[in-house]
Structure 1
Amino acid sequence: MEMKALLSIRGIGQKRYQHIQKRLKERGQNIDYLLSLSAERIKEEFGLPIQVATNIVTFAKEQRATSPLQQKNIAILTVDNPQYPQKLKTVLGDKAPNLIYVWGNLELLNRPTIGFCGSRNTDEHGLSITRAIIKQLAPYQWVVVSGHARGVDTIAHRAALEAGLGTIIVLPEGILTFKLRDELKQIARPDQLLIISEFEPEASWQVWRAMKRNQTIVALAEAMVLVQAGEKGGTFEAGKTALRLKKPLFVVEFEKKHANNSGNQHFLSKGAYALKRDKTTLEPNISAIVEMVKTKHKDYQQLPLLNLTD
């Protein structure tokens, strides 16, 4: 919705409109943030008379009834909403997104989560390792978090769905711009999915948004698995973010080194945990991951959590 729509609200003229616009800009927020607040919060944060604040709330309700977000069961969660992911606030503090758009099963936020990242150009060996790790996670009913990019991200989401697990997709674009990949759409049940975007609903993909999205993925995960990374790019930055935020980072250790996994050795030298093949089963040895996630997972129960697809 355009900001100028506020001028249609009784009690908001050009002067108040500019005042609201200035306050939103200072907070790095858009009109959706304003329209998600209660009358008391609007009065407090924007210094408006209570009647004008009430008029804004009434306007917001009318708009939501016909908005694309409402029609698609997309919710807007501000940072003080009880359904907002507690993990984001705990890990990112005042750098947590002030507002997120969500669709799907919010209950997935209560379960232990494990994040996956890897180059879009990860080879078949790396992709098979991703599948093998997630297949072993099936008994734990954990949730896989990733970014829906080509390569490791999509394979991780798909493997989770095939294993009967939940998966959280964190977007580098607006939630109304997003389209679920066909290979995921064919097998996904609504209760297995949660889609999150911290950007305006119709925002397009941009590099800086992808980088910011990576930070959100790391914050939501109890531990991160880095499958393949070069020495620059989004996956490399995601690994750096995991170390900076002190999240356990498990990096696949390849026997053969090449350009596609040259970044892996960098992170192993910086204190990441080596993810190796079990000599008996010849599968990835995830025992350390299991123990780490069990240790790190805290009770983030945030009742009531909703399945927005119902």
Structure 2
Amino acid sequence: MSDQELFYLLALLKVEGVGDVMAKKLLAHFGNAETIFKTKINQIAAVDGVGSALLKNMKDKSVFEKAERELEFIKTSAVHVSFFQDADYPERLKHCFDAPVLIFSAGNINFKNRKIISIVGTRQITSYGTEFCRSFIEDLAPLDPVIVSGFAYGVDIVAHQLAMENNLQTIGVLAHGLNQIYPKTHKKYIAKMEENGGFITEFWSSSNPDRENFVRRNRIVAGISEATIVIESADRGGSLITANIANDYNRDVFAVPGRSTDVYSMGCNNLIKTQKANMLTSAADLVYMLNWDIQSTGKAVQKQLFVELETEEQKIYDFLLKNGRELLDTIALTCDFPIYKISGILINMELKGVVRPLPGKLFEAI
């Protein structure tokens, strides 16, 4: 996109009353932002949804000064800009009707990875949530997913840290411009995140981390991903808003269950109880529900030396080691496990690299 095209787009988005939905409608009608500004007011009035207030605001020349300042910041700060019709714009987000017209990013981000998940939750993460998040990301690491979160306290920053520890791309979605970071204590993570991942936002450099921005930010977290995972949440909180938005976008939502007496499990338990989220107890649940093809991943799932197996996994592994290739139904019957349970166990064993699936619902030990 040329500087001139970006300038007029920025100016259009600064017109009071022109949000992402209206901007897309105007762009679809007139072709580009420059044409919109050079079109007579009575022709703009013909566009569905355009009222007298918006027509009056289109005459506001101050939007060009604001656009010029932001364009200067973008150029001097080496900010990457993605237009919603560009090839490098997040594919899943394109299909959200209220997705941002422009996304600003910093770092080394690659949205081409099919496996993109968002991990959200309370800012008051407990040891239970931390340990679940750790094992969950470690088990998913061989599949090379992109981990998205909001770079906030609690679950967000834990997810980002664990993604970095496992050499996974991680993306922080910000509720403010790229000229600052919130919370300030997280500045120490910026350089590491930008090595393999980075930050995205729809907000300009003039935007502060105001309360209403976080709700807008949440729709990007939900829309950019194949699935949203809520690790822990009280009965109210921003992560539940993200889960509801993901449901509205017809995306998969998962929640980690907890004890009914645990304050930061109440939100997750309610999501599961009201069927707004699938129950998530392990990485295998996610792999199974999303139908991720383990064998086609770019990173081979290697068998680790001295891998530790759970009692149920060991029973199945010993059976396959002794009998060779066996059907899923035969494994379930012989090892005395219900089908619904053994499927999850086998997927977890695949992630550990100790069994592999074969055509015809066959499995064998590695």
Which residue, 68, 84, 93 being the options, matches 1:88? 93
User: What secondary structure, in the 3-state scheme, does the structure 1 residue paired with 2:117 have?
Assistant: strand
Q: Given residue 286 of structure 1, which amino acid in structure 2 is its aligned partner?
A: A
Which residue, 224, 238, 262 being the options, matches 1:220? 224
Q: Given residue 206 of structure 2, which amino acid in structure 1 is its aligned partner?
A: E
Q: How far apart, CA to CA, are the structure 2 residues paired with 1:23 and 1:227?
A: 37
| Unmatched tracts of structure 2, length 5 or more | 25-30, 41-64, 294-366
User: What secondary structure, in the 3-state scheme, does the structure 1 residue paired with 2:15 have?
Assistant: helix
**Equivalent residue number for residue 106 of structure 2:** 103
Q: Given residue 79 of structure 1, which amino acid in structure 2 is its aligned partner?
A: F
Change over 3 Å in CA distance of 1:184–1:216 after alignment to 2: same
Asked if the contact 1:120/1:150 (under 8 Å) is kept, the reply is: yes
> Aligned pair 1:24/2:21, yes or no?
no
Q: CA deviation at 1:182?
A: 4.3
Which residue, 115, 119, 122 being the options, matches 2:122? 119
Asked if the contact 1:116/1:153 (under 8 Å) is kept, the reply is: yes
Asked if the contact 1:249/1:273 (under 8 Å) is kept, the reply is: yes
Change over 3 Å in CA distance of 1:73–1:111 after alignment to 2: farther
Q: How far apart, CA to CA, are the structure 2 residues paired with 1:290 and 1:269?
A: 22
User: What secondary structure, in the 3-state scheme, does the structure 2 residue paired with 1:136 have?
Assistant: helix
Q: CA deviation at 1:121?
A: 0.7
**Equivalent residue number for residue 59 of structure 2:** none
> Aligned pair 1:269/2:269, yes or no?
no
Q: CA deviation at 1:290?
A: 1.3
Q: Given residue 122 of structure 2, which amino acid in structure 1 is its aligned partner?
A: S
> Aligned pair 1:253/2:257, yes or no?
yes
Asked if the contact 1:23/1:46 (under 8 Å) is kept, the reply is: no
Q: CA deviation at 1:258?
A: 1.7
Q: How far apart, CA to CA, are the structure 1 residues paired with 2:221 and 2:147?
A: 10
**Equivalent residue number for residue 55 of structure 1:** none
Q: CA deviation at 1:227?
A: 0.8
Which residue, 135, 144, 162 being the options, matches 1:159? 162
Asked if the contact 2:12/2:18 (under 8 Å) is kept, the reply is: no
Asked if the contact 1:177/1:202 (under 8 Å) is kept, the reply is: no
> Aligned pair 1:78/2:91, yes or no?
no
Which residue, 267, 288, 292 being the options, matches 1:291? 288
Q: CA deviation at 1:291?
A: 3.0
Asked if the contact 1:87/1:220 (under 8 Å) is kept, the reply is: yes
Change over 3 Å in CA distance of 1:256–1:177 after alignment to 2: same
CA RMSD of aligned residues (A): 3.3
Q: CA deviation at 1:152?
A: 0.5
Q: How far apart, CA to CA, are the structure 2 residues paired with 1:207 and 1:143?
A: 27
Which protein has the larger Cα radius of gyration, Structure 1 or Structure 2? 2
Which residue, 177, 187, 194 being the options, matches 1:190? 194
Asked if the contact 1:158/1:183 (under 8 Å) is kept, the reply is: no
Asked if the contact 1:108/1:194 (under 8 Å) is kept, the reply is: no
**Equivalent residue number for residue 243 of structure 2:** 239
**Equivalent residue number for residue 206 of structure 1:** 210
Q: CA deviation at 1:183?
A: 4.8
| Unmatched tracts of structure 1, length 5 or more | 1-5, 10-16, 34-39, 50-58, 277-284, 297-310
Q: How far apart, CA to CA, are the structure 1 residues paired with 2:283 and 2:13?
A: 50
Q: How far apart, CA to CA, are the structure 2 residues paired with 1:28 and 1:175?
A: 20
User: What secondary structure, in the 3-state scheme, does the structure 1 residue paired with 2:32 have?
Assistant: helix
TM-score, L = length of structure 2: 0.61
